Structure 1
Amino acid sequence: MLSKSEIRELKRLAVKIRIDTIKSIANFGAGHVGGAMSMVETLAVLYGKIMRYDTKNPDWKDRDWFICSKGHSGPSLYATLAIEGFFPEEELKTLNQGGTKLPSHCNKDLTKGVDMSTGSLGQGSSLAVGVALGNKLDKRDNYTYLMLGDGEIQEGQVWEAALYAAQKKLDNLIAFVDYNKKQLDGYVKDINDVGDIKVKFESFGWNAQKVDGNDVVQVYDAIMNAKKIKGKPSLIVLDTIKGKGIPFAENLKLNHHIQVSSEQLEETLAYLEKELERLV
């Protein structure tokens, strides 16, 4: 159970991630604001409390892995990695710029701390299953964490990986679906309804939970509950708001990839700074 001070610090970390993410996107002028922001609380919990890693040795074999299969949401992962010390926060200003080490989609060969290159939707699921299986065969006690998008799980590759993970009893694999209800060009239910995600994964042999994905306590508790499950992989459906914590983005119907003006940045930073003050 998290203490009050731990909860406050995780909430503060989430706000800091949002600040650095929106600044980096605004510096370029546009970016994947929606999906980057909806998964921030999960990033805060994983990197702030749960995961085992070494910023000085990011390839440490016994580390926990985080695979952001919806790789276009990389900006918030980059912000998290910078805050935690994998590379200087100053580098966030280079997002999507020529010669950057922080490309639009996650690239393990460019960005220190990124465990797997992703962005071709669905493929991260197979990669995560391979990593988890390899670590289990090597008798390591680490975990692989996989972030999927709700639009992304329309890809058949996700379900092939889900079947195989259950077949191999990968209880060292914990996956998330960022259920923010939107994809690039509209609402998931209007484009290709994925139905009850929790029930679907359970029918594929997974342990599954559904929580408020923008609540650090619920996310933390769900991960700890998943770690208690033996003999099967776990799935956590994160019920989230696309663009969470960025008022102008939350209010847009289509907020997958949007422009960020200097005025919007100024207003957003003022809002987030007040959130930080409130959490002191």
Structure 2
Amino acid sequence: MNNEEMVKEFEKFAIKIRIETIKEVAELGFGHLGGAMSIVDTLAVLYGGVMKIDSKNPKWEERDWLVCSKGHAGPAIYASLAMKGYFPMEQLKTLNKPGTKLPSHCDRNLTTGIDMTTGSLGQGSSAAVGIALGHKLDKKDNYTYLVLGDGEIQEGQVWEAVSCAAQQKLDNLITFVDYNKQQLDGYLKDINDMGDIKAKFESFNWHAQEIDGSSVKEIYEAIQKAKEAKGKPSVIVLDTVKGAGCCFAEGILNNHHMTVSMEQAEEAIAILEKKLVELEGGAE
């Protein structure tokens, strides 16, 4: 597969993840949609071919690990895992319902394919550093991928982990900051502006990049550059839009946790399905 074909497959996978994520949330009638949608393109690249994984052997010791510290993005991860064969697609309909194995926030004890329980913001950063350090001490070549929210990096624990990762030269740790400029109850700039995020990480001696977080091509290329940076951890700041790719959620303020009607879902899915047909070359 050449690069152009690979990028096209990532783009198609991203659309499918969005469709299934919207279905999940609509089935329940409400949920964390905005912050799930803004990391879909990154998930499409990671689960679409970058990460070393085996759905038939979820605990494979040689696998790459994903820690989504912003655990409320679980619905998008569940959609990715189901499509990769970790569990039946039908299970997606149980999101956050009584007895479900797919809770609102990621839980490694419930969901096959989830590497770390998250949701208490900031804590995933420390866990990811510990996982990466453990692999390095064991001389394994596993990568640990960490996803942080831009509001989440207001947590002091994140910067303790950032400092430790640099001190330990964890070049097997690649972090994504979902810079969608919004947090639970407002815009970052109005609540606690984090300024130049890339520069902050660089000041801790991290290899840092800032890219278009909606471009699977840029995401893939940034990961390859991160892997070339030896002797230091890497961060990729994703310039994203909260709710991206969902017509009724994209760009609005109150999209962190929102109600979703079947009518809204059907409209959004129809738009995405049309894009998918066009990508697959079926448009007339």
TM-score, normalised to structure 1, is 0.99
1:234 aligns with 2:231: no
Superposed, 1:122-201 pairs within 5 Å as 122-201=122-201
User: AA paired with 1:69?
Assistant: S
Distance 1:56 1:248 in 2: 36
- Name 1:107's counterpart in structure 2: 107
Matched, 1:261 2:267: no
Whether the 8 Å CA contact 1:207–1:235 is kept in 2: the answer is: yes
Q: Name 1:33's counterpart in structure 2.
A: 33
> SS where residue 146 of structure 1 aligns?
strand
Residue 63 (1) aligns with residue 70 (2) = no
Amino acid at match of 1:248: F
Query: Matched residue of 2:248: which SS?
Result: helix
Distance in 1 between residues matched to 2:275 and 2:259, nearest whole Å:
23
User: Residue 121 of structure 2 aligns to a residue in which SS?
Assistant: coil
Distance 2:27 2:48 in 1: 26
What secondary structure sits across from 1:248 in the alignment?
coil
Q: Report the equivalent of 1:91.
A: 91
Report the CA distance between 1:133 and its aligned residue. 0.1
User: Which residue of structure 1 aligns with residue 214 of structure 2?
Assistant: 214
Q: Secondary structure at the match of 1:222?
A: helix
Query: Aligned AA for 2:140?
Result: R
Cα shift at 1:3:
2.0
| Contact 1:2–1:217 (Cα < 8 Å) also in 2 | no
CA contact (8 A) 1:25 1:95 kept: yes
Distance in 2 (alpha carbons) for counterparts of 1:114 and 1:55: 11
CA distance in 2 between counterparts of 1:261 and 1:55 reads: 32
**Distance in structure 1 (CA, Å) of the matches to 2:227 and 2:252:** 36
Equivalent position amino acid for 2:60 in 1: W
* SS of aligned partner of 1:126: helix
Look up the SS of the partner of 1:174 in the other structure. strand
**Residue equivalent to 2:72:** 72
What is the one-letter code of the residue matched to 1:232? K
Structure 2 residue runs of 5 or longer lacking an equivalent are none
Matched, 1:7 2:7: yes
State the TM-score, normalized to the length of structure 2.
0.97
Runs of 4+ in 1 over 4 A off after TM superposition: none
Question: In structure 2, how many angstroms separate the alpha carbons of the residues matched to 1:230 and 1:135?
Answer: 16
Query: 2 CA distance for matches of 1:2 and 1:183?
Result: 38
Shift of 1:270: 0.7
Q: Which amino acid aligns with 1:37?
A: M
SS at the partner of 2:249? helix
SS of equivalent to 1:176: strand
How many residue pairs get aligned? The number is 280
Compared CA separation, residues 154 and 248, structure 1 to 2 (3 A):
same
Structure 1 stretches lacking a partner, 5+ long: none
RMSD: 0.9
**Alignment check: 8 A CA contact 1:37 1:242 kept:** yes
Give SS of 2:252's match: coil
Following superposition, the deviation at residue 2 of structure 1 comes to 5.5
In structure 2, the residue corresponding to 1:263 is in which secondary structure? helix
